[in-house]
Amino acid sequence: MILSSGQLDKLKCRLQAELVSAKALQQTLEREYEILKYGDAEQIETVTKEKLNRLSKLQQLLVEREQLLSQWTPKCIDITESIISNLPDDNEIASNWQQLKDIAERLKDQNEINGAIITIGQRNTLNALDVLSGPRPNASSTYNPDGEKQRFFSSSTLAKA
């Protein structure tokens, strides 16, 4: 599909807004990573709210792009790739699109790293609680539905706070 100059300008503006939003989200994820390394609960809560706000904004921009493209074609699934593939490689829209795809990949990777840090922290906290508080009702030392070993519970409480 070939777009008019005006349509290309609108697409360019949309992609630039998405790129700015994605870069802001990337910075927030990197900040979250640094905060998670040191475990400051108050800062974790703040950065989580910021991350959710930035993610919501990026999602809104993606929906707006899809709505814009759906005005020009009845099927907008993968239409961005189709439109951009017809542009010269040195076109700013094509460059923005590639940058946006690259950032999306980095966002995914950073989010997985941050999620792993959170999971390890939760596991360590629960293990420490198990040692301190002893067995809990319905506790077992089997595997959960995800195939992960469930925590082993000791038979006596070491301390109570």
Facing residues of 143 across strands? Answer: 149
| Fold adopted by 5-133 | Methane Monooxygenase Hydroxylase; Chain G, domain 1 (1.20.58)
Q: Are 68 and 28 in contact, with CB atoms under 8 Å apart?
A: no
* Stretch 124-144: mean pLDDT: 67
Q: What is the pLDDT of residues 65-79, one digit of tens each?
A: 888 887 777 664 567
User: If 0-12 CB within 10 Å is exposed, 13-18 middle and 19+ buried, where does residue 52 land?
Assistant: exposed
Pair of tokens at residue 14 = 């949309």
What's phi and psi for 140, nearest 5 deg?
A: -145, 165
In whole angstroms, what is the distance from residue 83 CA to residue 12 CA? Answer: 12
Q: Are 135 and 155 in contact, with CB atoms under 8 Å apart?
A: yes
Whether the model pTM is above 0.75: no
Give the range among 10-14, 116-120, 151-155 with minimum mean pLDDT: 151-155
Q: Is the pLDDT of residue 25 over 80?
A: yes
In the 8-state DSSP scheme, what is residue 3? P
Q: Give the pLDDT of residue 106.
A: 93
Q: Give the pLDDT of residue 42.
A: 86
pLDDT range class, residue 145, cuts 50, 70, 90: low
What's phi and psi for 143, nearest 5 deg?
A: -100, 145
Instruction: Give the contacts of 6 (CB within 8 A, at least 6 positions apart).
Output: none
Q: What is the pLDDT of residues 31-58, one digit of tens each?
A: 999 998 888 888 988 999 999 999 999 9
Q: Length of the chain in residues, anyone?
A: 161
Which of 6-10, 35-39, 52-56, 114-118 holds the top average pLDDT? Answer: 52-56
Domain residue spans in the chain?
5-133
